[in-house]
Chain A
Amino acid sequence: MTAEATTPVAPAPVATSDGVAVRIISPRRLMWWKFRKHKLAVASAIFLILAYLATIFAGFVAPYDPASRSRNLYAPPQGINFVDETGQFHLQPFVYGWKMTRDLKTLSPVYVADTTQKFPLRLFVQGEPYKLFGLIDADRHLFGVDEGYFHLAGTDHFGRDLFTRLVYGAQISLSVGIISVFLSLVLGLLIGGISGLYGGWIDNFIQRLIEAIIAIPTIPLWLGLAAAVPRDWPPLYQYFAILVVLSLISWTSTARVARGRFLALREQDFVTAARVYGASQTRIIAKHLVPNLMSYVIVTLTLAIPGIIIGETALSFLGVGLKVPTVSWGVLLQESQKVQIIQFYPWLWIGPAACVVSVVLAFNFVGDGARDAADPFSR
């Protein structure tokens, strides 16, 4: 930390005789240098990139099909071992099989590791067939076992692999954040831009509308809107309906930032100069205003994504969002809402909860780093 404080933001540029740096440094690179200083933000960004990659290649990353059932119901996570029961070290990690007995009082399954069954773990194993991107037939998985079974995060009441379901759930939960943020980007830029550019009664109307929307507590509003989505819609329609419900609120913050930046930028002398040399309104917006407000908008968006992910989770958890057979983190949490599960099979709620918390935290860290980097000229 101390070493970091003394290193300058950018490698010191060599100056020529008239004091102009030799290296050409674009504003974008300046921002990157500033962002890079936030180690936590960089680590979070890498984590998020990996998470989104995993959702794109979900079939490959997940060892099983989300719907396929094994005979092991409510099996806890299998630990990965390098050292076997005799104390001997193996370079190739392996897992033990489960031996199931039943608790005589509750009749619930109790699993103990069966040291006679060892399943070595391998990369790129052949397993259950899936369609990559929904198009290409494939059966290779990132990791797995050739024989036996491997449930990294345990199984649920049907014996479905929870890790697989978390990966497929991320497809829904993470894409809701991104897509709805893009919707709010378009809405927010458009509405905020109009508001800031034209001013007058249009601005007044839009600002009052935004205040009205913000004044309503988010969760009840989401609940009301989500509850209005017909129950019998197919999952895809429900997904988009929830998406729209979530975006309906989150565009307001983007619009506010866009409007504020538009107002501030409009007064900058370089915009006046452009007007004086006869640049058209469209050109001024496209070349002078939008490039200068994008960094701020991106920061707002990054900070808005976690709210939306939590929104989806909350709605599904409360039973008005997505529903089985759709898999999302919220749906997984909703499924584990039983006292029995909370008490005896905690991995079923810890898994999805840990996913939501880590992704939300990561987005916040990235947003914090981006906020500082957005204005690279302030030192």
Chain B
Amino acid sequence: MQPPIATADPILAIRDLKKHYGGKKHWTGAVSKAIRAVDGVTFTIYEGETFGLVGESGCGKTTLGRCIARALDPTDGEIIYSPEDGRDIDLATLSPRQLKPYRQDVQMIFQDPISSLNPRMTLLDIIGEPMVVNGLARGKEVARRVGELLERVGLRAEYMVRYPHAFSGGQRQRIGIARALALNPRVIVCDEPVSALDVSVQAQILNLLQDLQAEKNLTYLFIAHDLGVVEYLCDRVAVMYVGQVVELAETSDLFARPLHPYTEALMSAVPPANPRAASQPRLLEGDLANAANLPPGCHFHPRCGYCVERCRTEEPELREFSPGRFVRCHRAEELRLDGVAELAEAGA
């Protein structure tokens, strides 16, 4: 699908990124515990690829995506961005003013088609404002470019005088995509761009995203809670659990043979019409761990069917299992976990 990863250049290198909420000392002396929404995430995204990020709702995907697009200030860590001139810049520590030239290169698409568009602005203003703010176009030129963008995302240019309330969810997502494209970005953080849409509309939007990627050589950080979408779209996938990456692999490897029990649980819960799913003992049970009060040892151990004594006390590191495959589990070598392929075969 994409050029082999080994030959592509890194475009974003995330190093030990953290985002903690709260955790300040109150004047009464009480100390509230920090919510560790993102807690030491490390991975590299290569130019032109689609990098998937999956995990249950509340595991910190949105927070991570927003830190990378610098809508949020990370608490700690590095976001090394490689602009086209070949330098390396740490976006995490730049001030708003220093950040401005790089903002154009990393844009976002949002999950909620309602709240992502300002109801008081016409499409011309919504899609044109990024250009105006960054001095890319003025006056008539803005309208011309907005028209082009609207047509590119499958809407009609004359819609630019309308307000968002006139459009359906899928059309609104197209408008959001046009806004993200307005600055000719290199990287787009797609935060669950189809999960609020009807299934019939989802495929259209995903196809549009794929076409745009091929046409403009875009790099996607694609966030999803649905493994099906990830399998269809992504080159590599990172699985997140309470603020940490627990497994990272190429999509085909991950689906053929997950290494982490959490990945297996996600897969057993999700595959479409999996005949064995009903009797699966390894379905995901219990709730996501509390990011403000994490269990000791492996954060997944209270829900893990393979938990042993060591898991309760010793926290596993994210380690390279084989070239390009990372996992955060003590028992990765000994376990033989079911991937989607095996489940499908067993069911057939």
| Chain A contact residues, CB within 8 Å of chain B | 13, 18-21, 24-27, 30, 268-270, 272-280, 283, 287-288, 291-292, 376-377
Q: Is B183 an interface residue (CB 8 A)?
A: yes
How distant is the Cα of A268 from the Cα of B183 in the complex, in angstroms? 21
Q: Is B167 an interface residue (CB 8 A)?
A: yes
Instruction: Find out whether the CB atom of B118 lies under 8 angstroms from the CB atom of A377.
Output: no
Instruction: Find out whether the CB atom of A273 lies under 8 angstroms from the CB atom of B162.
Output: no
Return the contact of B108 from the options A20, A21, A272 (Cβ within 8 A): A272
How distant is the Cα of A377 from the Cα of B116 in the complex, in angstroms? 15
Instruction: From known contacts A276-B103, A276-B108, infer whether A269 and B70 are also in contact, taking CB-CB under 8 Å.
Output: no
Return the contact of A272 from the options B110, B129, B163 (Cβ within 8 A): B110
Query: Considering only CB atoms, which chain B residue lies closest to A15 in the complex?
Result: B166
Inter-chain contact total with CB atoms closer than 8 Å: 91
Closest 3 CB pairs of A and B: A277-B130, A269-B116, A269-B110
Instruction: Find out whether the CB atom of B166 lies under 8 angstroms from the CB atom of A25.
Output: yes
Query: Considering only CB atoms, which chain B residue lies closest to A271 in the complex?
Result: B118
Instruction: From known contacts A278-B100, A279-B133, infer whether A377 and B119 are also in contact, taking CB-CB under 8 Å.
Output: yes
Nearest Cβ in chain B — how far from A379, in angstroms?
A: 11
| Secondary structure type dominating chain B contacts | loop
Instruction: Find out whether the CB atom of A292 lies under 8 angstroms from the CB atom of B119.
Output: yes
B contact residues around A24 at 8 Å (CB): 161-163, 166
Instruction: Find out whether the CB atom of A292 lies under 8 angstroms from the CB atom of B120.
Output: yes
Instruction: Find out whether the CB atom of A27 lies under 8 angstroms from the CB atom of B100.
Output: no
Q: Is B66 an interface residue (CB 8 A)?
A: yes
Q: Is B50 an interface residue (CB 8 A)?
A: no
A contact residues around B66 at 8 Å (CB): 272
Query: Considering only CB atoms, which chain A residue lies closest to B103 in the complex?
Result: A278
Instruction: Find out whether the CB atom of A20 lies under 8 angstroms from the CB atom of B167.
Output: yes
Nearest Cβ in chain A — how far from B18, in angstroms?
A: 20
How distant is the Cα of A228 from the Cα of B171 in the complex, in angstroms? 61
Instruction: Find out whether the CB atom of B134 lies under 8 angstroms from the CB atom of A27.
Output: no
- Among A25, A275, A376, find the residue whose CB has the most chain B CB atoms closer than 10 A: A275
Nearest Cβ in chain B — how far from A123, in angstroms?
A: 45
Return the contact of A276 from the options B69, B115, B126 (Cβ within 8 A): B69
B contact residues around A287 at 8 Å (CB): 118, 121, 125, 129
Nearest Cβ in chain A — how far from B60, in angstroms?
A: 16
Query: Considering only CB atoms, which chain A residue lies closest to B162 in the complex?
Result: A24
Instruction: Find out whether the CB atom of A21 lies under 8 angstroms from the CB atom of B166.
Output: yes
A contact residues around B33 at 8 Å (CB): none
- Among B108, B118, B129, B162, find the residue whose CB has the most chain A CB atoms closer than 10 A: B118
Contact with A along B75-103 (1 / 0, CB 8 A): 00000000000000000000000011001
Return the contact of B116 from the options A273, A280, A288, A376 (Cβ within 8 A): A273
- Among A268, A277, A283, A291, find the residue whose CB has the most chain B CB atoms closer than 10 A: A277
Instruction: From known contacts A277-B129, A291-B120, infer whether A272 and B71 are also in contact, taking CB-CB under 8 Å.
Output: yes
Q: A18-B171, A25-B163, A291-B120 known; 7 other A-B pairs, CB under 8 Å?
A: A19-B171, A20-B171, A21-B166, A25-B165, A276-B103, A277-B129, A279-B133
B contact residues around A30 at 8 Å (CB): 165
Contact with A along B209-221 (1 / 0, CB 8 A): 0000000000000
How distant is the Cα of A280 from the Cα of B168 in the complex, in angstroms? 30
B contact residues around A18 at 8 Å (CB): 155-156, 171
Instruction: Find out whether the CB atom of A27 lies under 8 angstroms from the CB atom of B133.
Output: no
Q: Is B329 an interface residue (CB 8 A)?
A: no
Return the contact of B163 from the options A26, A274, A277 (Cβ within 8 A): A26
A contact residues around B244 at 8 Å (CB): none
Instruction: Find out whether the CB atom of A20 lies under 8 angstroms from the CB atom of B112.
Output: no
Q: Is B301 an interface residue (CB 8 A)?
A: no
B contact residues around A274 at 8 Å (CB): 129
Query: Considering only CB atoms, which chain B residue lies closest to A272 in the complex?
Result: B71
Q: Is B64 an interface residue (CB 8 A)?
A: no
How distant is the Cα of A27 from the Cα of B108 in the complex, in angstroms? 26
B contact residues around A268 at 8 Å (CB): 115-116
A contact residues around B116 at 8 Å (CB): 268-270, 273
Nearest Cβ in chain B — how far from A39, in angstroms?
A: 25
How distant is the Cα of A26 from the Cα of B116 in the complex, in angstroms? 18
Q: Is B43 an interface residue (CB 8 A)?
A: no
Instruction: Find out whether the CB atom of A20 lies under 8 angstroms from the CB atom of B159.
Output: yes
Q: Is B268 an interface residue (CB 8 A)?
A: no
Instruction: Find out whether the CB atom of B133 lies under 8 angstroms from the CB atom of A377.
Output: no
A contact residues around B179 at 8 Å (CB): 273, 277
Instruction: Find out whether the CB atom of B118 lies under 8 angstroms from the CB atom of A292.
Output: yes
How distant is the Cα of A21 from the Cα of B119 in the complex, in angstroms? 16
Instruction: Find out whether the CB atom of B110 lies under 8 angstroms from the CB atom of A273.
Output: yes
How distant is the Cα of A277 from the Cα of B129 in the complex, in angstroms? 9
Instruction: Find out whether the CB atom of A278 lies under 8 angstroms from the CB atom of B166.
Output: no
Nearest Cβ in chain A — how far from B253, in angstroms?
A: 32
Instruction: Find out whether the CB atom of B166 lies under 8 angstroms from the CB atom of A276.
Output: no
Nearest Cβ in chain B — how far from A19, in angstroms?
A: 6
Q: Is B104 an interface residue (CB 8 A)?
A: yes
A contact residues around B133 at 8 Å (CB): 277-280, 283
Q: Is B107 an interface residue (CB 8 A)?
A: yes
